[in-house]
Structure 1
Amino acid sequence: MPDTVLQLQTDDPLRIAHALAARLATTAVARDHAGGHAAQERALIRDSGLLTLSIPTEFGGAGASWETVYAVIRILARADSALAHVFGFHHLQLAGITLYGSEEQQRRLLTATVRDQLFWGNALNPLDKRTIATAHADGFTLDGIKSFSSGSVGADWLTVSAWDEAAGAALIGVLPANATGVEVQPDWDAFGQRQTDSGNVRFNGVHLPRELVLQLPGQAPTPQATLRSQVAQLIMTNLYLGIAQGAFEAARSYTSEQARAWFASGVEKASDDPLVQHRYGQLWLLLRPAELASDHAGSLLERAFRRGAALTAPERGAVAVAGAEAKALAHRAGIEISSQMFELAGARATSAKLGFDRFWRNARVHTLHDPIDYKIRDLGRYALDGTLPTPTPYS
């Protein structure tokens, strides 16, 4: 077992996360300007041992709760939400193995992840059906392209989905990123989340062995299996919340230490201006409900995840409701705080060398992942007649 994994099993993962975040923060502004692949920083994440955080102890991992995983994502996102995204989506792929995979697949893939310090990426995008799976005797052949493949550049293994036209349904499987015919393209060019390695992956006659298929086309998902979308949604929630917390702290520090009081305020320090204090109170009232709702949703998800095959549809629905509440609040906090911070910090805070704009750009790009209006609609339905969200890859 790698030394980093042994350290994680005996050390506080939150302490490790804070130390890692501090290192990422030293280069976050420069790397945000540069974009591209953060190879050195991903190596720091790998070396921290935190890649094994969610893997059960029976497979050599730390066996941490989802509450702990989300806390680590939030800590990293305060410093660098792009790499927090890559880290979070690594654990999303591991959750998929646990939720979809057989006992043999779990043991093989999760044990290998610990032993070889594997970094997982995503090529599953369920709305992109351009990758086609053709069945044959010992598995499938994959041809096509997948967009928004988070963490694919630099990944060791990928989770993939592909559309089986004969079955009229998708399969889910896993593959080494260097498998013959897999082409990972570093072409992500959004104006935020610039180092999430979320470009396209092409599949050119790729062989997917049957033993690496986690879910066959048309296989009806159980309530347990549909938890993957909830794991994903709460990863995003905690990314948005981490961005909000990071923006709030950056603004608070700048206001206290560098901002100049407006001449008409009658005070010497900007932080003593009653109007500034009032505005910070408003931002605090965005932040705190999002924090509390996110913690609550994480606790429900952890409980549901540990229920395993015994999880019921109503229990799963309760997780989805809590997750929608948390995501809507974190979405709002991330967008509003990262925008309003400039009205409080002042014109000098727009200096490019400070890089405060990255908070808004990262929040704006990532919160477009799936429409927040549909989360709020789900909550409205639930409030009106108790209808639970229908399980989909996004709800």
Structure 2
Amino acid sequence: MAAVVIEENQQTRRSPWTGHASREELAHWQQITEGVAAVLSADVLERDRRNADPQAEVELLRSSGLFNLIIPTAWGGGGGHWESALHAVRILARTDASIAQILAYHYANLGAVVFYGDAQVQERLLRRSAQSGWSWGDSVNPVDPNLELVPAGDGYRLDGVKHFSTGASVGDAILVNAAVTAGPDQGKFLALALEHDRAGISFLGDWDALGQRLSASGSVKYDGVAVTSTDIIGEVGEEPFSSLVTPYIQLAFGNLYLGIAQGALERGRQITLARKNSWFLSSAETYAQDPLTQRVYGELASRVAAVEALADRTNERFDAAIADGGQLTVEARADIEIEIARLKVVSTEVGVEVANRIFEVTGSSSAKTEVGLDIFWRNVRTHTLHDPVDYKKVEVGAHFLLGEVQPISLYT
């Protein structure tokens, strides 16, 4: 009977987001995000090499208001749409993809409060988040063994380790997914909101990757952490609206990879224009005037523009889907999932290609550490391994040929 009640409640839930971002809204958040990116650009290479938790960068995001962008104005937030949030992720990725990733996951975790929580939980947590400008990290990685919740007194005890907990070590709040392993609620999968300094939580600081070095994606250990009823957001399920969290994060990835490609292309352009000579076999005076150089840039710029057009369309469509709330149908959820999977495929391939081939037109000197052109390739190469893009191709192909849709998961 409880499952039926949950289903009925989900169907009647209203989304706090309606309509679409206006040009004025997009321009407003673009200006703010570009200001943040300008600050980050001053020492992006130095910070990347230092590989420390991005505490100062998180404070910059907080002071800019970007953390509150999608929180409704009625709850003290910025009242922006998801299209504006995704555009902000893309803009930051042109300069610092690690910080863009933290922001992208922050929005996913805020969204999860709405997807899994009832109206009272939503207002309580998002109002508190807006008032303090909270940063939200997470411990959700579905390929790890589940974190375990065991009944203890009036609540639970949380135990386990989660790897790839992006933003958790620098977050004010942590979104945690955990399985109840005993008691009357055994088998339920719950979403929790825990504060950073809760007793029993330790951050292992073991994130040491080729790229995305400042994404604060290290492991978190939970050792007998006390969980009360007020920490529980709700039950994680497969209802269309609540499961939009996965298409969103895949859409954020598409914008992240696009932003990295745009950043690499612009940095390459700067380097090429600064070169005063040309290859000795060329009849052109400078590399920028060489038709072979122009051909590569023309190819890469055209592909980036195509991905941008698809991303813009998909970002806007996501706002339409999320506005349906509990009325979102299985079919509509599948449509936006496939659209996003298409973007994931092309943004991955174009992002990696641009970040790699940009070296062909900037020359051997661009491989120097001090130039820093490698940061784009390292970042996009690292993050595109998050989940295999070949499975996204299969997802799109199976739907195109047979109308099949993959089972709902934290990857589809």
SS at match of 2:168: coil
Q: Verify the 8 A CA contact 1:286 1:329 in the aligned structure 2.
A: no
Distance 1:10 1:57, change over 3 A: farther
d(CA) in 1 for partners of 2:26, 2:335:
34
SS at match of 1:122: strand
AA at the equivalent of 2:300: L
d(CA) in 1 for partners of 2:265, 2:26:
32
1:197 to 216, 231, 236: 216
Distance 1:84 1:267, change over 3 A: same
1:134 matched to 2:150? The reply is: yes
User: Map of 1:333-348 to 2, 5 A cutoff?
Assistant: 333-348=350-365
Q: Verify the 8 A CA contact 2:238 2:408 in the aligned structure 1.
A: no
Distance 1:10 1:88, change over 3 A: closer
1:69 matched to 2:85? The reply is: yes
Render the CA deviation track for 1:68-113: whole Å, top value 9, x for unaligned: 1011111111010001111111111101001111111111110001
Shift of 1:258: 2.3
1:156 matched to 2:172? The reply is: yes
Equivalent residue number for residue 3 of structure 1: none
d(CA) in 2 for partners of 1:90, 1:290:
24
Shift of 1:221: 2.8
Larger deviation, residues 338-347 vs 382-391: 382-391
1:121 to 123, 130, 137: 137
d(CA) in 1 for partners of 2:276, 2:257:
26
Equivalent residue number for residue 8 of structure 2: none
Larger deviation, residues 381-390 vs 311-320: 381-390
SS at match of 1:186: coil
Shift of 1:33: 1.2
Equivalent residue number for residue 190 of structure 2: 171
Percentage of pairs with the same residue: 34
Equivalent residue number for residue 83 of structure 1: 99
1:277 matched to 2:294? The reply is: yes
Equivalent residue number for residue 351 of structure 1: 368
Larger deviation, residues 258-267 vs 77-86: 258-267
Render the CA deviation track for 1:116-171: whole Å, top value 9, x for unaligned: 11111111112212421113453321111010000111211100011333434532
Question: Any runs of at least 4 consecutive aligned residues in structure 1 with deviations exceeding 4 A, and if so which?
Answer: 8-11
Query: In angstroms, what is the RMSD of aligned CA positions?
Result: 1.7
Q: Verify the 8 A CA contact 2:77 2:130 in the aligned structure 1.
A: yes
Equivalent residue number for residue 258 of structure 2: 241
SS at match of 1:291: helix
Larger deviation, residues 165-174 vs 282-291: 165-174
d(CA) in 2 for partners of 1:259, 1:124:
50
Equivalent residue number for residue 316 of structure 2: 299
Q: Verify the 8 A CA contact 1:38 1:195 in the aligned structure 2.
A: yes
Equivalent residue number for residue 37 of structure 1: 53
1:185 matched to 2:201? The reply is: no
Shift of 1:9: 9.0
Shift of 1:347: 0.6
Larger deviation, residues 165-174 vs 54-63: 165-174
Shift of 1:36: 1.3
1:257 matched to 2:274? The reply is: yes
Larger deviation, residues 60-69 vs 10-19: 10-19
Distance 1:376 1:78, change over 3 A: same
Which structure 2 segments of 5+ residues have no match?
Answer: 1-23
Which structure 1 segments of 5+ residues have no match?
Answer: 1-7
Render the CA deviation track for 1:32-75: whole Å, top value 9, x for unaligned: 11111122222111111111001111211112111110111111
Q: TM-score, normalization: structure 1?
A: 0.94
AA at the equivalent of 2:384: T
Q: Verify the 8 A CA contact 1:270 1:276 in the aligned structure 2.
A: yes
Shift of 1:261: 1.5
Q: Verify the 8 A CA contact 1:248 1:341 in the aligned structure 2.
A: yes
Q: Verify the 8 A CA contact 2:190 2:234 in the aligned structure 1.
A: yes
Q: Verify the 8 A CA contact 1:37 1:195 in the aligned structure 2.
A: yes
Shift of 1:252: 1.2
AA at the equivalent of 1:51: F
Count of residues in Structure 1 that have an aligned counterpart in Structure 2:
386
Shift of 1:185: 2.2
Equivalent residue number for residue 371 of structure 1: 388
Q: TM-score, normalization: structure 2?
A: 0.90
Equivalent residue number for residue 213 of structure 1: 232
Equivalent residue number for residue 102 of structure 1: 118
Distance 1:11 1:59, change over 3 A: farther
Shift of 1:172: 1.5
Equivalent residue number for residue 4 of structure 1: none
Larger deviation, residues 259-268 vs 348-357: 259-268
Shift of 1:389: 3.5
d(CA) in 1 for partners of 2:286, 2:293:
10
Q: Verify the 8 A CA contact 1:9 1:62 in the aligned structure 2.
A: no
Render the CA deviation track for 1:2-57: whole Å, top value 9, x for unaligned: xxxxxx99981110101110110111011111111122222111111111001111
1:28 matched to 2:51? The reply is: no
Q: Verify the 8 A CA contact 2:26 2:84 in the aligned structure 1.
A: no
AA at the equivalent of 1:353: E
